């Protein structure tokens, strides 16, 4: 009997060892170091080819792969595209302990749409590190009104037509234009990201999402010169939680109605947000022109404002600087928008402004437990073509 018991235990032990071995084999990860491909961490020698070569090597494997970028500064002066067309791996992680830097000459990247671009990839993660796009000289050129400036500038990090993307603990510094763009993607998680740019840096949106589904942004700090988060047409199932914004232009849905044929925005939640000295807080904006676009199912929950110029705003006559305004009526229909537990201070007397379309009035607007004050002024609300209801205490007084 003892022999049988010992034999059974031996078989069980062997089985457990086999399962553990197979588990380790299944989870094995190839590791590529950019230094082995010729990258130089001195911030002087161009490491572009090394990064492209290590990407090619990672894509050639069907295993999970980690691309290690050790401490140091890596000069990547040119626009780079990491394509997923021929990628066998669906699990590639960039683990960055250093800083990737662009050229200090803004003209090198100034005509490019993107600096670091991922196109058609699956299962890519970017963990840690910093991107320094050296955008300050381009901003200065634009702010000075020089005719020698490039019309646009490069987005620092872009994902297009990709899925299962993870960006964790990345810092983006001084982007020429947008910092991070998620375009045509699915299943994206952004966590612990920090964005830093001057409050007067033009068109430097922190995170821009469009034509994408199931995107989550958590525990993020954004200081920039434009929208902290901008939400474009075709965005569905977006969750933003624990975000700090300021300086910047707030969190904006839009601008919409740029085109007649335009996908709608739906199922967006912003929760536990803090705005500090921003131009706007929670904003929905559309141009005053015909469009079949829409905004539906939006929740703004548990938000604190500190000295925000326009804490709550829907503007369907959007036209920055009042130049070449379409002077029509917005076709975008805004419905089912909830503002719940919003408190803090407004820098202007009009703390709530709903300027909606005359032909497509806003509907289903819900204000619940809103408390906004303004130093030395009586706080007010303004409504045009807006329908909805209030729940609990709302200050300023309801104008719906």
Res 30 pLDDT > 80: yes
pLDDT in tens, 33-66: 999 999 999 999 999 999 999 999 999 999 999 9
Distance between CA 325 and CA 319 in Å, rounded?
6
User: Chain-centre distance of CA 34, in angstroms?
Assistant: 27
Residue 190's DSSP bridge partners are 167, 217
- pLDDT reported for residue 11: 45
Question: Is the confidence at residue 359, as pLDDT, over 90?
Answer: yes
- Token pair belonging to 383: 């409504």
If you average pLDDT over residues 183-210, what whole number do you get?
A: 98
151 phi, psi to nearest 5 deg: -65, -40
Structure confidence by residue, pLDDT tens digits, 153-181: 999 999 999 999 999 999 999 999 999 99
- pLDDT tens digits for range 59-85: 999 999 999 999 999 999 999 999 999
Whether the pLDDT of residue 25 is over 80: the answer is: no
The average confidence (pLDDT) of the chain is 93
- Does 249 qualify as catalytic in the annotation? yes
* pLDDT above 80 (res 18): no
Contacts of 3 (CB under 8 A, 6+ apart): none
Largest Cα–Cα distance of the chain, in whole Å? 93
pLDDT of 39 reads: 98
Q: What is the mean pLDDT of residues 123-152?
A: 94
pLDDT at 194: 98
Share of the chain above pLDDT 70, in %: 93
pLDDT at 148: 87
Taking residues 265-289, report their average pLDDT. 98
Look at phi and psi of residue 336 and say left if phi exceeds 0, alpha if psi is from -120 to 50, else beta.
left
Among 205, 226, 227, 355, the active-site one is 226
Asked if residue 23 has pLDDT above 50, the reply is no
- Which long-range contacts does 35-44 make (Cβ < 8 Å, 24+ apart)? 35/70, 39/69, 39/74, 40/74, 40/75, 41/70, 41/71, 41/72, 41/73, 41/74, 41/98, 42/72, 42/73, 43/72, 43/73, 43/74, 43/75, 43/99, 43/101, 44/75
Residue 2 has pLDDT above 70, yes or no: no
Kindly report, residue by residue over 372-399, the tens digit of the pLDDT: 999 989 999 999 999 999 999 999 988 9
Give the model's pLDDT for residue 27: 53
d(CA 54, CA 12): 43
Q: Is 226 a catalytic residue?
A: yes
Local confidence band at 253 (pLDDT 50, 70, 90 cut-offs): very high
> Among residues 132, 179, 205, 249, which one is catalytic?
249
- Could you tell me the pLDDT band of residue 147, with boundaries at 50, 70 and 90? confident
DSSP type of residue 124: E
C-alpha distance across the termini of the chain, in Å: 84
* Contacts of residue 376, Cβ cutoff 8 Å, sequence gap at least 6: none
Q: Is the pLDDT of residue 19 over 50?
A: no
């Amino acid at each position: 009997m003892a022999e049988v018991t010992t034999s059974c235990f031996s078989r069980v032990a062997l089985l457990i060892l086999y399962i553990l071995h197979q588990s380790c084999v299944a989870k094995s990860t190839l590791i590529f170091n950019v230094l082995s491909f010729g990258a130089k961490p001195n911030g002087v020698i161009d490491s572009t080819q090394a990064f492209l070569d290590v990407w090619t090597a990672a894509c050639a494997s069907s295993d999970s792969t980690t691309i290690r970028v050790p401490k140091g500064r890596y000069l990547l002066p040119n626009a780079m595209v990491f394509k997923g067309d021929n990628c066998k791996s669906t699990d590639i992680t960039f683990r960055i302990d250093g800083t990737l830097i662009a050229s200090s000459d803004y003209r090198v990247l100034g005509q490019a749409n993107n600096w670091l671009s991922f196109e058609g990839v699956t299962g890519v993660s970017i963990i840690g590190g910093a991107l320094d796009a050296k955008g300050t000289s381009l901003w200065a050129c634009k702010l000075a009104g020089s005719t020698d400036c490039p019309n646009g500038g490069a987005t620092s990090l872009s994902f297009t037509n990709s899925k299962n993307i993870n960006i964790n603990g990345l810092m983006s510094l001084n982007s020429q234009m947008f910092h991070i763009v998620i375009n045509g993607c699915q299943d994206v998680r952004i966590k612990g990201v920090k964005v830093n740019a001057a409050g007067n840096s033009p068109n430097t949106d922190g995170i821009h999402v469009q034509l994408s589904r199931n995107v989550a942004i958590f525990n993020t700090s954004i200081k920039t010169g434009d929208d902290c988060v901008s939400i474009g047409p075709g965005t569905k199932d977006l969750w933003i939680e624990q975000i700090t914004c300021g300086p910047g232009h707030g969190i904006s849905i839009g601008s919409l109605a740029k085109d007649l044929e335009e996908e709608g925005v739906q199922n967006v939640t912003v929760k536990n947000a803090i705005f500090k000295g921003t131009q706007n807080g929670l904003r929905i904006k559309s141009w005053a022109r015909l469009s079949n676009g829409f905004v539906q199912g939006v929740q703004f929950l548990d938000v604190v404002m500190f000295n925000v110029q326009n804490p709550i705003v829907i503007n369907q006559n959007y036209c920055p600087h009042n130049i070449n305004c379409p002077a029509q009526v917005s076709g975008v229909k805004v419905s089912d928008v909830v503002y719940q537990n919003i408190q803090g201070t407004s820098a202007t007397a009009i703390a709530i402004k709903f300027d909606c379309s005359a032909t497509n009035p806003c509907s289903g607007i819900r204000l619940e437990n809103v408390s906004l004050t303004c130093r030395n002024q009586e706080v007010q609300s303004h409504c045009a073509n807006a329908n909805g209801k209030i729940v609990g205490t709302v200050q300023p007084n309801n104008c719906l």
